[in-house]
Chain A
């Protein structure tokens, strides 16, 4: 699963810790999402998308064959 959380966060001048505070998760969780090591829950994905004024599909894009 690809995502552009890092690009959007950097574009807003936020650190991982800042974004984590806004979304009530840890800095490590933001890092894990950005590097693809952790797939956020649907509520957190929606929170991320709302914060960046985007849809979940725009922010998270499945790899080939990942979604049937």
Chain B
């Protein structure tokens, strides 16, 4: 990491830029009722990391600023997070292939998972966990949402 990136103001500006971009995407996709709470959460996270970095080693590593040990831990953490995100993104792309549901990429992992649990219908009641095929085990046990992928590839 360059010395310039090891500056807290650069890191905060980067987080604010990411927040603005995410809010813009959510605003365009779903409107202000989804974008503003999401932006508030990101702003709160930015403030937590910035003001908590002197009190907590974990937050200091998450801030990405500090001496060489902190920066090396930050690099490792980013590599791990990037790996997880890329696996998750690959899963979303595979499941969305041909289904014409591209908006699911922007909605993120948590909302996507919630939609899976609700059986793909936004307004449907969430079923009991035991009612999900993946929770019952046996030959039909697959990840929630598998049937959508199977349909899209037929």
Q: Are A41 and B57 in contact (CB under 8 A)?
A: no
A57 and B57 alpha carbons, distance in the complex (Å): 30
A28 and B68 alpha carbons, distance in the complex (Å): 11
User: Contact residue range for chain B?
Assistant: under 10
Asked if B119 is an interface residue, CB under 8 A from chain A, the answer is: no
User: Once A and B bind, how many residue pairs between them come within 8 Å at the CB atom?
Assistant: 19
The residues in A between 1 and 55 inclusive whose CB is less than 8 angstroms from any CB of B are: 24-26, 28-29, 32, 38, 40-41, 44
Asked if B144 is an interface residue, CB under 8 A from chain A, the answer is: no
User: Contact residue range for chain A?
Assistant: 10 to 19
Q: Are B68 and A29 in contact (CB under 8 A)?
A: yes
Q: Are B69 and A32 in contact (CB under 8 A)?
A: yes
Asked if B145 is an interface residue, CB under 8 A from chain A, the answer is: no
Q: Which residues of B contact A28 (CB under 8 A)?
A: 57, 69
Q: Are B68 and A44 in contact (CB under 8 A)?
A: yes
A40 and B79 alpha carbons, distance in the complex (Å): 20
A46 and B14 alpha carbons, distance in the complex (Å): 33
Give, as a whole number of angstroms, the nearest-CB distance from A30 to chain B.
Answer: 10
Q: Are B68 and A40 in contact (CB under 8 A)?
A: yes
Give, as a whole number of angstroms, the nearest-CB distance from A20 to chain B.
Answer: 8
* A residues apposed to B, CB below 8 Å: 24-26, 28-29, 32, 38, 40-41, 44
Give 6 nearest A-B pairs by CB, closest first. A25-B67, A29-B69, A41-B68, A38-B69, A26-B67, A29-B67
